[in-house]
């Protein structure tokens, strides 16, 4: 199998936010194994008792079972409308005070069983994707939360859903309802695992307030996703309004070895640096960055800190500490990883995971990639002049 050039890999990964690697499930499983061994027996017993008790009719007669009431809580309109705060997101850090704020993505679904599903994903109010899936393609939706727009209501109405027990989410009493369970293989270890989707409904309204995906009873790397609203409506437009770059010609190049003056000329503004050296890493090269989407070409510069691996311009040794700083005046789709079309307020940096960051300073948009979060923070403070 051919090995892709790192620049090509970066460009491809930049088309979508980074998602947790499959082996993160294994990390979570190892961390949880000791605790779950002690808790497994009592939890299983509690869940069994909870299923028997909670499925019993509340008040009897026309009040129905908990599952029936949960189905009624979202209405019976032909179109299901769901807004979910995604488990994926980033941490916005104030460079002066160090204060941290978690920012999560939002997924909005409109599901019409006759026409299909429209999904709009956003981050901090900026649309990240807008897609439509006809009914025949619903089974191929790979979003963790898509089951809310397809399987949840069906499972409640058919009675195939199962009440797991009571809990609290953000201090609010809830019941966890298991919507589906499947035995599926995991490419990280080649073994079958029990994958399940659960919905938490508020005990007072029985409306969904959170969702989670589990593998062998362990909550996934993205954690719990919070349902901001869910309702059924009589009709909705499923037309996509945010243009997709699928099928559009794209090209990403980094060329040359620039001086500071040449870099400023390419950028169209004074180039920003974290100094000639930061955290023991020397500035080894400045390259011109060219990004083409369709007929539009954007330019910028990339600054590389760390030893050159000898693999070509800007190719750093992945086994050694490194820092890459990319700068542009136009926030186009190919510029940064983590989020598209968004920069946090000046004086802050938005970090995804531990190695990716985005920020802005003096009118310049900056994308960071480094070997540690501390290196990203030190670079961000230097770039912001904090």
CATH number for the domain spanning 192: value is: 2.50.20
Q: Which residues pair with 201 in a beta bridge?
A: 175, 208
Model confidence pLDDT, tens digit, residues 233-255: 898 889 998 877 777 888 999 99
Domain limits at 266? 245-384
Q: Does residue 97 lie in a domain region?
A: no
Q: 275 and 327 share a domain?
A: yes
Which range has the worst mean pLDDT, 7-21, 120-134, 340-354? 7-21
Q: 259 and 354 share a domain?
A: yes
Q: 81 and 154 share a domain?
A: yes
Q: How many domains does the chain have?
A: 2
Q: 161 and 253 share a domain?
A: no
**In the chain, % of residues over pLDDT 90:** 42
* Residue listed under structure tokens 């599926």: 184
Q: 315 and 216 share a domain?
A: no
Q: 190 and 47 share a domain?
A: yes
Mean pLDDT of the chain: 79
Q: 219 and 251 share a domain?
A: no
Report the pLDDT averaged over residues 332-360.
Answer: 94
- Say what the pLDDT of residue 244 is: 73
Q: Of 233, 259, 283, which closes a domain? A: 233
Q: 228 and 297 share a domain?
A: no
Q: What are the contacts of 262-271 at 24+ separation with CB within 8 A?
A: 262/286, 263/288, 263/301, 263/303, 266/299, 266/300, 266/301, 267/299, 267/300, 267/301, 267/327, 267/328, 267/329, 267/364, 268/299, 268/329, 269/329, 269/362, 269/363, 269/364, 270/362, 271/301, 271/303, 271/327
Q: 73 and 124 share a domain?
A: yes
Model confidence pLDDT, tens digit, residues 170-209: 899 999 999 888 898 877 788 899 988 899 999 999 999 9
Q: 316 and 195 share a domain?
A: no
Q: Of 212, 233, 254, which closes a domain? A: 233
Q: Does residue 1 lie in a domain region?
A: no
């Amino acid at each position: 199998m051919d090995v892709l050039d790192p620049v090509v890999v970066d460009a491809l990964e930049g088309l979508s936010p980074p998602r947790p690697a499959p082996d993160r499930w294994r990390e979570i499983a190892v961390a949880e194994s000791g605790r779950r061994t002690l808790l497994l027996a009592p939890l299983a017993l509690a869940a069994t008792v909870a299923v028997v008790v909670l499925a019993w009719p509340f008040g009897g007669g026309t009040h129905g079972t908990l599952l029936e009431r949960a189905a009624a809580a979202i209405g019976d309109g032909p179109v299901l409308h769901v807004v979910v705060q995604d488990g994926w997101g980033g941490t916005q850090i104030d460079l002066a005070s160090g204060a941290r704020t978690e920012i999560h993505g939002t997924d909005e679904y409109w599901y019409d069983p006759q026409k299909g599903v429209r999904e709009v994903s956003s981050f901090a109010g900026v649309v990240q994707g807008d897609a439509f899936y006809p009914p025949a393609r619903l089974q191929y939706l790979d979003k963790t939360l898509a089951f809310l727009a397809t399987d949840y209501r069906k499972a409640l109405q058919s009675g195939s859903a199962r009440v797991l027990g009571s809990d609290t989410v953000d201090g609010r009493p809830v019941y966890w309802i298991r919507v589906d369970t499947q035995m599926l293989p995991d490419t990280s270890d080649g073994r079958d695992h029990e994958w399940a989707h659960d919905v938490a409904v508020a005990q007072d309204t029985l409306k969904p307030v959170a969702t989670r995906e589990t593998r062998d009873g362990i909550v996934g790397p993205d954690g719990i996703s919070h349902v901001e609203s869910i309702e059924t409506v009589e009709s909705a437009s499923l037309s996509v309004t945010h243009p997709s770059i699928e099928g559009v010609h794209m090209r990403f190049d980094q060329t040359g070895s620039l001086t500071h003056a040449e870099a400023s000329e390419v950028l169209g503004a004074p180039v920003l640096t974290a100094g000639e050296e930061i955290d023991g890493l020397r500035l080894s090269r400045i390259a011109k960055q060219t990004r083409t989407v369709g007929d539009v070409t954007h330019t910028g510069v990339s600054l590389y800190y760390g030893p050159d691996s000898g693999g070509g311009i800007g190719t750093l040794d992945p086994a050694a500490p490194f820092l890459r700083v990319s700068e542009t005046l136009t926030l186009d789709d190919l510029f940064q990883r983590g989020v598209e079309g968004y920069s946090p307020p000046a004086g802050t940096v938005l970090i995804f995971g531990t190695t990716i960051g985005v920020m802005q300073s003096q009118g310049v948009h900056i994308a960071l990639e480094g070997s540690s979060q501390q290196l990203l923070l030190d670079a961000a403070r230097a770039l912001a002049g904090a």
